[in-house]
Structure 1
Amino acid sequence: MGSAKHLIVSILLTFLIVGSGTAGYMIIEGWDILDAFYMTVITMGTVGYDEVHEISKAGQLFTILLIFFGVGFFVYVAGVVVQFMVEERLKTEGRRLKVVIKLQPSAYIL
């Protein structure tokens, strides 16, 4: 799979994880969507703010799972984004080098 496809899949999976985290807090804790989304984002972003509301034991376990999956996946997505950017830069430089070589027919690469 190409890096562009990896990037698209990673972005879609990020939305899936954030949506699952939000839904999980809404179901487990009975929070409204904004509080659940906020808690998901600060958890995945490792911000470290206090909980939005008091959290149950089930909510604590859910938060632990969200940290493992969410933060780990967030790091993976960051790597995919960097890979995509580097590959695009290398493609651009490769095209530029081909043009330079074509413009200098007497040039030899040793």
Structure 2
Amino acid sequence: MHSNRRVTMAFLLIAGAIAIGIFGYMMIEDYTFFEGFYMSVITLTTVGFGEVKPLSNVGRGFTTFYILLGFISLALAGHAIAESLLEKVFSDQSGIKKMRKKISALKSHYIIRGYGRVGAAASEYFEKAGIDFVTIE
């Protein structure tokens, strides 16, 4: 999966978990939207603040389920974000390694310093003529 899509899915997963919490607290404990949002966020982030209102036994059961859901959601989202970042770092390093390998294999090549107007014209000429060259910016 593309790294941007993974990050988007991670944020959607977290938003979905918060939405489940809001809806659950509103239905089970008759919380307002803001109270449900607040309770969802402090539960997911394990901040440990007290409950908005005392919870019923059903509310405690939901909160237990919600803590597990939140832990799994945050773990999956964190994994997706970390994987995306690491993929970017390693793909950049891999590209640099490939470029260095190609350059070190060149023999009897030209070096063009700068890719301005003259450098671009020289590059175009060498490319058409099949002459090996490296451009350094």
Q: TM class by shorter-chain length?
A: 0.7 to 0.9
| 1:1-110 mapped onto 2 (5 Å cutoff) | 1-106=1-106
Deviation at 1:34, TM superposition (A): 1.3
Query: SS of the residue aligned with 2:37?
Result: helix
Return the structure number with greater relative CO, CA threshold 8 A, min gap 6: 1
Query: SS of the residue aligned with 1:104?
Result: helix
Distance 1:94 1:34 in 2: 47
Distance 2:6 2:84 in 1: 9
Distance 1:15 1:55 in 2: 23
Deviations 1:24-75 (A, max 9, x none): 1111111111111111011111111110111111111110010011112211
Question: Which stretch shows the higher mean deviation, 50-59 or 3-12?
Answer: 3-12
Query: SS of the residue aligned with 2:48?
Result: coil
Which structure dedicates a bigger proportion of its chain to helix? 1
Distance 1:3 1:85 in 2: 8
Distance 2:76 2:44 in 1: 13
Match in the other structure for 2:113: none
CA RMSD of aligned residues (A): 1.8
The one-letter code sitting in structure 2 at the alignment partner of 1:80 is: A
Report the TM-score, using the length of structure 1 for normalisation. 0.85
- Highest Rg: 1 or 2? 2
Report the TM-score, using the length of structure 2 for normalisation. 0.70
Distance 1:103 1:71 in 2: 48
Which structure dedicates a bigger proportion of its chain to strand? 2
Gaps of 5+ in 2: 108-137
Gaps of 5+ in 1: none
> What fraction of aligned residue pairs are identical, expressed as a percent?
28
